[in-house]
Structure formats: structure tokens, C-alpha cells
Amino acid sequence: MTHPPDSSSEPQVPHPETPGQSLTPDATPLPAGALLPEDALLSEGPLPAGRLPAEPLPGGDRPPRRPAPLPPEARRTEGFRSDHADLDRLSTGALVQALADDQLQAVNAARDAAPALARAVTAALPRLERGGRLVYAGAGTSGRLGVLDATELTPTFSWPAERAVPLIAGGESAIRRAVEGAEDDREAGQRDVQAAGVGPDDVLIGVAASGTTPYVLGALAAARAAGALTISLSNNPGTPLLDAADCAVLLDTGPELISGSTRLKAGTAQKIALNTLSSALMVRLGKVYGNLMVDVRTSNIKLEGRALRLVMHAANASESQSRAALLEANGQVKVAVVALRLGVSVREAARRLDEAGGHARAALGEA
């Protein structure tokens, strides 16, 4: 005895046989990442079990299209960590320990990138010696880290503020609060670089954990077109940002402990790399004598005390001698040190430093 087909049974929906592969209604495979024809994406009859029926679109009688399968995610920073799948169940002590321990990978990534950072320093130095600027471009956490690095160069090394230019997707308001969608605007990155007047003597540092941020890619493209040196920092290998720059720096930190939260170790690695890059440049530009911060700007009581201790240490002078030299040198540590060490006037010390390109060691005849 035959039985009629069960009219309540649901049609079988074909599934891709391999990840990233879709099937047409006649089971012909499509290449990975390909989009299905519109008719194949429309809901035909009942949906599979467990799915809610499609609601008609406002103003139309056709149900919403089913999206094509999500292509495989190649960016390591978007990966998932199986070793801490129960992170939210840890005790507070264990949770804090896990988060702190994971930051060690940021240090290792920055150490692995040291040769690339050294090449970037070597390439950037001649442009800055000719009066060029450091320009930073980023979005979100990466953009804010660029703002931080640019801002700190002035009090630490007396680097002129106008020669450290941070560009962040969404503008200054994005420093404090997120500006949705700003990072996806490639043309905005190009416009910001053009508005900043970036030229051949400038150095643009593009920072993006993903390595695919359109705003940063646009900024990098505009800077290269203007003849500037371009440096890129990315936390994912094989990304467009690394391919687009003159000097590519990979900070391969891998998946985050909290999946996708690149403000964690990816951001830490970026901070280390930016610190390393800009500090090495300042050392090469004569902003440091030995390991002493002799170009510090004495803008508050703490820094005034630091300046005095630096002069006393570097010149092997008494507190009263150092105070007097600093006062006469208008708070310039390097000038006071050279004056005391050589036994010359502050004016003569400043002249010798100028002749030596600002390098204290050369002015002291120690080069």
C-alpha cells in the first residue's frame, strides 16, 4: 500500500558541502564567496525547522532575501580562543591573571617586529632632518593611540606640536566617543591627508589592527601620491595595509582573549611599536644625551624638578650651579648641561649645539 506524500513535510534546503561554498537550486556549486542570483536567494516555500517565517517588506509583497553565506574570516584578530571559552566563569583573580598574561603576546609581537621598526626609523630620519612632520592616521583605538603618541612628543622631547599631526577617522570628536561608520570612509582619509598638506618630507604612519580599514588605506594612498614616506602597522599578516606602505610593520598578536576586542593586546602592541618608533627617531635627532631626556619641556613643577636633577647628573654640578644655569638657559636642559660641562656661557653653549645640529654629544666633542 502506497502512502501519499506528507504535505506538511518541509523541502530540504541544500547546504554547502565545503565551508564558503554555496549551492544553486539545481545543486551546482558556486565559487567560495560568490553571491547567489536574486531568485535563488528568495524564500521559496516554508523555511527550515526552527526558522521564523519571513515578514513581507514594508510596501512590498516579497519576503526579504536570504543573505549569501559569510565568507571565511582570514583576519587572525577576529578569531576565537577555545582555551578560554569559559572566561566569564573564572574567579576575579583568575580573570585578571588571564587578561594580564595575554598581554605578554603584545610584547613578543613588538619584539618580533623590531627589524621592521628599525628599517622604518632609518627611512624616516632623513625626512625629519629636513624639517618634515610625523603624521598619524587611524580609526578607533588605533587612531586614539596615534593621537596619544603625537601629543606626547612635545612635552617629552620639545618636538614642535605642528610637526606631529594626528588624523583620526571622525575627527577630534572621535577621540572621546565613537563616530559610527567613520572608519569605512576611504575618501575621508584621502581628504584629511590632503587638508593637512602632506608632502615629500613628511612621514605618515597608518595604524589599523585589522589591516583593512578603508579610512587608513585612503590616507596611506593619498600620502604616497604626495610623495611622503608611508609606514603601516597592522596586527594581521597579508593585509592590504601592509602591502600599501613603503615600510610595513606586522604586529602578529593573534586572536584576543575577548574575541575581536583589539583594544587589548593588539592595541598594546601598537602602543609599544609607536613608542619605539617615535622614541628611536627622537634619539637619532639628538633629543637624548646618553639615556637622559635633555630636551624635556619644563611645563610643570614635576618636570622642573626633573630638569634640575638631569642637569645635576649630566654636568656633575651642584644644585645651586644647576639652578643658575637652567634659569639663564630659560629651562633648556641641554643648553645648561653643555654650558656647565664646557665652562662656557649659555649663549656659547647654544651656538655650539646649533652647529652640532642639536646633538649634545657632538657639541661636547664626544661624538
319 forms bridges with which residues in the sheet?
Answer: none
Average pLDDT for 80-108: 94
- 135 domain-assigned: yes
Q: Are 258 and 318 members of one domain?
A: no
The enclosing domain of 222 has a CATH number of 3.40.50.10490
Q: What's the structural domain count of the chain?
A: 2
Q: Are 250 and 320 members of one domain?
A: no
Q: Are 220 and 253 members of one domain?
A: yes
Q: Is 162 a catalytic residue?
A: no
Q: Are 118 and 239 members of one domain?
A: yes
| Domain hosting residue 357, numbered range | 301-363
What is the model's pLDDT at position 220?
98
Q: Are 247 and 359 members of one domain?
A: no
Q: Is the pTM of this model over 0.75?
A: yes
Could you give the count of Cα atoms lying within 13 Å of 261 in the half-sphere of its Cβ? 8
231: phi then psi, degrees, rounded to nearest 5? -125, 135
- 39 domain-assigned: no
What is the model's pLDDT at position 330?
95
- 191 domain-assigned: yes
Which has more confidence, 71 or 282? 282
Of 284, 312, 327, the residue that ends a domain is 284
DSSP 52: P
Q: Are 213 and 249 members of one domain?
A: yes
Q: Are 189 and 263 members of one domain?
A: yes
Q: For the chain, how big is the Rg over CA atoms in Å?
A: 29
Closest listed residue to residue 239, CA positions, set 229, 255, 228, 251: 251
Average pLDDT for 143-149: 97
Q: Is 152 a catalytic residue?
A: yes
Which of the residues 152, 304, 328, 348 is marked catalytic?
Answer: 152
pLDDT above 60 (res 31): no
pLDDT above 70 (res 42): no
Q: Are 267 and 321 members of one domain?
A: no
User: Are 166 and 139 within 8 A, CB to CB?
Assistant: no
What is the model's pLDDT at position 65?
64
- 32 domain-assigned: no
Average pLDDT for 123-151: 97
CA distance 23 to 17: 8
CA distance 256 to 78: 8
Q: Are 237 and 311 members of one domain?
A: no
State which H helix or E strand residue 195 sits in.
helix 186-195
pLDDT above 50 (res 24): no
What is the model's pLDDT at position 358?
95
Largest CA distance in the chain: 117
Which of the residues 38, 44, 78, 183 is marked catalytic?
Answer: 183
CB atoms within 10 A of CB 141: 19
pLDDT tens figures, 318-334: 999 999 999 999 999 99
